[in-house]
Structure formats: structure tokens, C-alpha cells
Amino acid sequence: MMRPSILLAAGLLASTGVASADDGPVTMRGLGIASCNQYLAVRKEEGITPNKVVYNQWAQGFMTGLNVALYMNFKKYADLPDTDSMNQRLSAYCSAHPLKPFHEAVSDLMVEKSASFENSAAK
């Protein structure tokens, strides 16, 4: 029998990223479109839960993808935070912006991490 937390994680994954053709192009799928409130609710769960792991993996994968794009375009990359530092920063952003989508919290963290980059393209 599946544990309730595993079912919740599967339900979150299944319910995110759903868009009809009438909505136009889909630019974001997965947990990134969940609200910061949803992320904060998961952070309140006791211990390491499947829900927390899924959010962590999504955020780390998204940041890695942004880092690859940074390197390909500017030959620079951000020093990605460890999981605890990442969650502290994401929780702070989401507490201040509970209705924003989770991907904006992760994107804001990447902007912070890459703040020292030059604004010009690589030559």
C-alpha cells in the first residue's frame, strides 16, 4: 500500500503543468508552476518526505539547467547552493511572496547567485 505522502507527491506531479491548447504555448511544467504557498506547506512536513525531495530535485534541476544556459551563452556559471541553504533562501522568498509561482523563487535565487556576472554577452 502506498503511503499518503507518496500519493500526495504523485498527485502534485500529475496536477502540475496541465494546459490546454487554448492556453497558448506552455513555457513551464512541473512543480515550478506550483505556488510558493504549496512549497511552504511541504516544508512544514516533519523529516525528509517524498514531497520535500521532489521540490528539492525540481529546484536543483531547474538551477542546473539555467547554469548550463549561462555557461553556453556567457562562459560563466553560478555556484549553486547546498540543499539546506537553497531551502532557507526559497522559504524566505516564498514567505514574502506566497502567491508567486515556485519557479520565481528558484529564478530569484539564481539571479542572486549570478549577480556579479556582466550584463554583456560572451565574445
| Residue 84 pLDDT exceeds 70 | yes
Domain 4-9+27-113: which CATH number of 1.10.3470, 1.10.12, 2.40.50, 1.10.890? 1.10.890
What DSSP character marks residue 117? Answer: S
Decide if 113 contacts 81 (C-beta within 8 A): yes
Q: What is the pTM of this model?
A: 0.75
Neighbours of 35 (CB within 10 A): 16
Mean pLDDT over each residue of the chain, to the nearest integer:
81
How do residues 4-49 score in pLDDT, each as one tens digit?
Answer: 333 333 333 334 444 434 567 878 888 999 999 999 999 999 999 9
Q: What are the boundaries of each domain within the chain? A: 4-9+27-113
**Up-side HSE of residue 46: CA atoms within 13 Å toward CB?**
0
* pLDDT for 77: 87
